[in-house]
Structure 1
Amino acid sequence: MTQPTPEQLARYADQFNRSLTLKAFGARLSFPDQETVEVLIDPIRPEQRGGLGTDAVNGGVLAAMFDLVIGCTPALLDPTRRTATVELSMHFMRAVGGQRLRARAKVDRAGEVLCFSSAQILDEQGQVCATAHGIARRSEQKWAGGDSPAIN
């Protein structure tokens, strides 16, 4: 498989961004380059706060962002196949405040089925607040019925 084009990656992101889940979560998926998956929450909503009784972003929100960026890293290799996160290990380093939150992930290594990736969550000053390592599984199943964001 050749490296996906920027257009294929943009279509893949658009499919996720149209989903009710991402709309409800207030997040946007993108591929700023052909080696990076990014999720942005801007602005952070009041219901996404509440870590330890503070106005910091709740750890569950950070975990969901990591799940999304790690789970989408196989698209950097083949955006026509379905994927799922199968393992996720997170390290929270500092509380996240502010109004904007960004998660970025890159592929560390990949085989035919498993994709090993690392990710960071950055606050609005660009400081790393949390890191993660995970494994995403690439399905043999293609997107059904021509709904593949990379094919159409």
Structure 2
Amino acid sequence: RMSFPEGRMVVVELPEVQPQHRGGLGASAVNGGVLSALFDYAIGCTPALRDPTRRCATVQLSMSFERPATGNHLRVEAVIDNGGPSTLFASAKLMDAEGRVCARCQGVVRVSNQPWASGESPATN
């Protein structure tokens, strides 16, 4: 689930962690690959906060895993830190159901001059 609260951040939620999402630190923690995918999704959509009509792509992610992400619900919040017309620097944090930060991410996103092929960004649907 994705949202853009007040156009200030990108929020990605995994409302129900499934058994196939687990596998880090035994069977209870969510696997790092799943956390990476959530970060990529959130950071990669931050350009939509500035211009939802342009294509974009994540070109770099740097993650730190601070504690096991356990529980049945995860939330990622991503914001733009800085950037120009073609490159954005963004950061994100991943929280468990209790609101504890489990991981952090910094990323770089390239913004294209090309619009989405359909004429509409997935961020505006």
TM-score where L is the length of structure 2? 0.94
Q: Does 1:141 align with 2:118?
A: no
Which residue of structure 1 aligns with residue 81 of structure 2?
A: 108
Which residue of structure 1 aligns with residue 94 of structure 2?
A: 121
Secondary structure (helix, strand or coil) at the match of 2:4 reads: strand
Q: Does 1:42 align with 2:19?
A: no
Secondary structure (helix, strand or coil) at the match of 1:79 reads: coil
C-alpha contact 2:46 2:90 (8 A) present in aligned 1: yes
Give CA deviations for 1:15-63 in whole Å, capped at 9, x if unaligned.
xxxxxxxxxxxxx111122110011001101100011323110000000
Deviation at 1:149, TM superposition (A): 4.6
Q: Which structure has the highest strand share of the two?
A: 2
Give me the identity figure in percent: 54
C-alpha contact 2:15 2:72 (8 A) present in aligned 1: yes
**After the TM superposition, which segments of 4 or more aligned residues of structure 1 sit over 2 Å from their partners?**
145-152
In 2, the alpha carbon distance for the partners of 1:142 and 1:72 equals: 14
In 1, the alpha carbon distance for the partners of 2:124 and 2:22 equals: 38
Deviation at 1:145, TM superposition (A): 3.8
Aligned-pair RMSD on alpha carbons? 1.5
In 2, the alpha carbon distance for the partners of 1:92 and 1:150 equals: 27
Structure 2 segments unaligned to the other structure (5+ residues)? none
